[in-house]
Structure 1
Amino acid sequence: MPHRNRKTLGTILLLTTVLCIMAANTACRDRTPRLQPLPADALILAFGDSLTAGNGAPRQASYPSRLQELTGWRTVNAGVPGEISAEGAKRLPGLLRRHRPDLVVLCHGGNDLLRRIAKQTTSGHLAAMIDMIRRSGAQVVMLAVPQPGIRLRPPDFYRNIAERYRIPLEEEALPAILSDNTLKSDPIHPNAEGYRRLAEAVATLLATSGA
C-alpha cells in the first residue's frame, strides 16, 4: 500500500476512534440521572460506615475530606464503623435535621454483606434512607459496595434502587480500589491513596450528573 494511503487510513481510524469515545461518553452522560446544580455554599453529608469514616487512613485522608478539597463544598463525614443498614436508617433522620444538607452521598450496606444479611433487607433499608433524604429536601447519590468473593462486584440491588429512584450511582470505583492491593490498608478498607481515588470518582459523578 502506498505511504500516502496508509497515512490517510490511519487518520480515518484515529478519527473514528475519537468519535466512538465521544459518543460513548455522551451516552454515559445521557444515562446519568441529572441533579440540580449545587450552590457555592452547599453542604454535603457523606453518610455510611467505615468506608465513609476512613478506616485504614488518617481522618484527613478519608474520602469526604478529599471530596471537600476537590469540590470546595463543605463535606460532613458521617461515617460510623461497623454500622449495618438497619442502624443507619435509624441514625440518618437526626443528621438530616441537624445539618440540613443540600446533598447526601450514601455509601452503605457493606457490613450487611459481610454479615450475610438478606439482600432484600438491605435493599429495603437503602430505599428507606433515600426516601428520608428526599423528604428532607436534599439530593442524593449512591456508592455501590462490592460483596465479598473472588471477583469483587456490587450486588444487583444497588443498580436496581438507583434505577427505581433515578439517582446517580457510582458502582465501579470501590470494586476497582478494593481489587488493587496497592490501594488497600486491609482486605476491606482503602488506604489514603484509595480514598483519594474514591473521592475523585465521587467528584466526577457529581460533575457528570450536573451538580
Structure 2
Amino acid sequence: MIVSSRRIFLAGGLAGLLALLAGCGGSGPGDLEPLPRSATVLAFGDSVTHGTGASRGEDFPARLSEITGWQVVNEGVPGDRADTARTRLGRSLREHDPDLVIIGLGGNDFLRQRAASAVKEDLRALIHEVREHGAQPLLLGVPSASAFAAATGRLRDDGLYGELAREEGVPLIGAVLSDVLSSRDLRADRIHPNAAGYQQMAEQIADGLEELGLWLAP
C-alpha cells in the first residue's frame, strides 16, 4: 500500500488493479489496524530524520509526536546510509520495542552514487528485520539526487521505493520530502528542510498514516 499526495495504492494481484484506479485519482480506506495512543514509533533515518537544518524540537519526528500523541523516537543519524544503518537497527529495535518503524533512508546513498539496486536490497533487509522483531515497517520515499530537478522544483521520489513497496507489501508514504525540497521556502539547503519544511513533512506523514488506517485523527 502506497500513499502519495493523498492517494492510496495497493500492491499485488487484485491490488494491482486497485493501484491503477487509485493512481487515476481514486482513493479508499486503509486496511491496517490503528495504533493506540500509547504506541511507540521509531523514526529511523539520516540527517533529515535527525532534523538537520532546524532547531532542536523542530524535527519531523517531534512534530509528528505532537500531532499524533504517540511517542516518536528520533533515531536519525546524519550521514547514515541504507547499508550502514543495518548495523544499528537491531539495537534500536531492542531498546525501544516499537509498534511502527518509519524508514527514511537512501538520500546519502544517492549522493554517493550507490547503485539503486544495492540501496533497494539494503532497505529490503531493514524491512525484514523490522518484521522479524514484530513491528510494522513503513517506507518514506526519498528523491533521487538531481541538481536540475532541485533547481527547477521538480524533485521526484526514486522509483525503487514504489517497486520495493509493491514487492514487499509494505506501506509507503511518498512525495513528502520531494515536495518539501522542491520549495525554496521550505528548505534550509538543497538536501535539508527548515523548520517549516519539517512541520509540513510531519503533517503530510500524519495524513498518510490516517489514510493507511494506522492513525485515527481526533
Per the TM superposition, whether the score is higher than 0.5 is yes
CA deviations over 1:123-149 (Å, ceiling 9, x no partner): 000000000001111112111110121
Amino acid at match of 2:120: S
CA deviations over 1:4-44 (Å, ceiling 9, x no partner): xxxxxxxxxxxxxxxxxxx98983335x6x32211121000
SS at match of 1:162: helix
Q: Which has the higher contact order (CA 8 A, sep 6+)?
A: 2
The yes-or-no answer on 1:72 pairing with 2:75 is no
Q: Name the residue aligned to 1:53.
A: 50
CA–CA separation in structure 1 for the residues paired with 2:107 and 2:77: 12
The yes-or-no answer on 1:159 pairing with 2:177 is no
Q: Name the residue aligned to 1:144.
A: 141
Q: 1:26 to 1:43 in 2, by over 3 A?
A: farther
The yes-or-no answer on 1:28 pairing with 2:44 is no
Q: Name the residue aligned to 1:113.
A: 110
Q: Name the residue aligned to 1:208.
A: 211
Amino acid at match of 1:110: G
CA–CA separation in structure 1 for the residues paired with 2:84 and 2:94: 17
Amino acid at match of 1:127: R
Q: Is the 8 A contact 2:42 2:101 kept in 1?
A: yes
SS at match of 1:59: coil
Q: Is the 8 A contact 1:53 1:59 kept in 2?
A: no
Amino acid at match of 2:189: D
TM-score (ref. length: structure 1) = 0.85
CA RMSD of aligned residues (A): 1.7
The yes-or-no answer on 1:199 pairing with 2:202 is yes
The yes-or-no answer on 1:97 pairing with 2:94 is yes
Q: Is the 8 A contact 1:29 1:209 kept in 2?
A: no
Amino acid at match of 1:195: Y
Aligned residue among 167, 184, 189 for 1:186? 189
Amino acid at match of 1:162: A
CA deviations over 1:48-69 (Å, ceiling 9, x no partner): 0001000000120000000000
Q: Is the 8 A contact 2:107 2:145 kept in 1?
A: no
Q: Name the residue aligned to 1:43.
A: 40
TM-score (ref. length: structure 2) = 0.82
Amino acid at match of 2:198: Y
Q: Name the residue aligned to 1:16.
A: none
Q: Name the residue aligned to 1:177.
A: 180
What count of residue pairs does the alignment treat as equivalent?
187
Q: Which has the larger radius of gyration?
A: 1
Q: CA deviation at 1:190?
A: 0.2
CA–CA separation in structure 2 for the residues paired with 1:56 and 1:203: 21
Q: Which piece of structure 1 moves more, 61-70 or 134-143? A: 134-143
